[in-house]
Amino acid sequence: MDLALPCPLEAGWELIRTVVLPREGADGLPLGGFSAAAYQPESDRLWLLSDAPHGHLMTWGGLAQLLNGMATALTPGPRLLLRDADGQLLPEGFDGEALVLEGSRAWITSEGRRTPDRTARLIRIDMNTGRQQEVLPLPPSWRAAPGRGLAINQGPESLTALAPSELLVAAERPLLQSDDPSLVPMARVSKGAAMRDEGALQIRPFAKTAGLTDLLALPRQRRLLALLRGFQPPLSWTAQLLLYPYPNGRAAPPLKPLHGWDLLTAGLPPDNWEALAVGPRLRDGRTTLVLGSDDNFNPLQSSWIAVMAPRRTDACPD
């Protein structure tokens, strides 16, 4: 489904619904750490990726029914534990951060700690078994070296599909070797080719207080949405949604925002917002934007699902 933007852009976003997910599953184990989302309209299933010590995917059914008054709650499904190529559970600390579904497989990014046993990477898994099928190394400029690469726990944080078998990956913060603290690097993944640098997003004036937590490509509109999350102790949060031109080549200059929205002023609860996905269609025809928050398994935070829709005036085309 294609997501329309607010029209005019200044009209902003309408908060349609918020849901707080339970802290415990039917198996008695803790729920939380949801850092990425993807929605399947044909089955009305919302997939959430957890960065719990043993990383897993989990489905929640009935989001469209909930929005359109035909259900009162989301229906949780079983956990799909992530496994290596031999079928063993991925080691603790995999730290999954981003998710793209592609048929019966899923692409997932893992944040690194700049150590040999916890390297940042992109993996492809079988959605039926959770088993790892492929591991893609990051571009050389992203890899850990003295004074270079991704900082600890700073990505890859975001992932979105530009086209079938073509992905865009982004970090959370600038690379260590960057001389501009407002430039967040991106990389492109094309079928059969090595991951390559794809320029950067400029996040000024939020560079000192926020980082990029998810991307959403809008191919038909040739636009890119970026979710920026900021935090200041003890529990002060910000959430910005920025609109960018579409990436079109690694030689391009940094992409600068075309417009931005403060989502907290639109009613989004202040928390650790990390997930962004296209959601169900409403009865009035608008396609929605789904956001998810990572509670860090902290009792002072919550695992939120929020659904927003673009505001559009009567003067805007259908």
DSSP assignment string, 85-154? TTSPBPPTT--EEEEEEETTEEEEEE---SBTTB--EEEEEETTT-BEEEEEPPPGGGS-BTTBSPPTT-
Q: Read off the pLDDT of residues 131-187 as tens digits, 9 standing for 90 and up.
A: 999 999 999 999 999 999 999 988 899 999 999 889 999 999 999 999 999 999 999
State how far the Cα of 3 lies from the Cα of 308, in Å rounded to an integer. Answer: 11
3-class secondary-structure state, position 10? helix
- Sign of the C-alpha dihedral computed for residues 214, 45, 165 and 258 taken in this order: negative
Q: What pLDDT sits at residue 276?
A: 98
Model pTM score: 0.96
Q: Which residue has the tokens 């294609």?
A: 2
Q: What pLDDT sits at residue 315?
A: 79
Whether the Cβ atoms of residue 160 and residue 217 lie closer than 8 Å to each other: yes
Nearest to 1 by CA among 63, 50, 56: 63
Q: What pLDDT sits at residue 318?
A: 67
Supply the DSSP symbol for 179.
S
Q: What pLDDT sits at residue 1?
A: 65
The H or E element that residue 65 is part of is helix 63-67
Q: What pLDDT sits at residue 246?
A: 95
Q: What pLDDT sits at residue 110?
A: 94
Domains in the chain and their CATH numbers? 9-310 (2.115.10)
Whether the Cβ atoms of residue 307 and residue 263 lie closer than 8 Å to each other: no
Nearest to 270 by CA among 295, 302, 238, 305: 238
3-class secondary-structure state, position 219? helix
- For the chain, residues with pLDDT lower than 70 are 1, 250-251, 318
Q: How far is CA 2 from the centre of its chain?
A: 17
State how far the Cα of 21 lies from the Cα of 73, in Å rounded to an integer. Answer: 10
Whether the Cβ atoms of residue 84 and residue 54 lie closer than 8 Å to each other: no
Supply the DSSP symbol for 221.
G
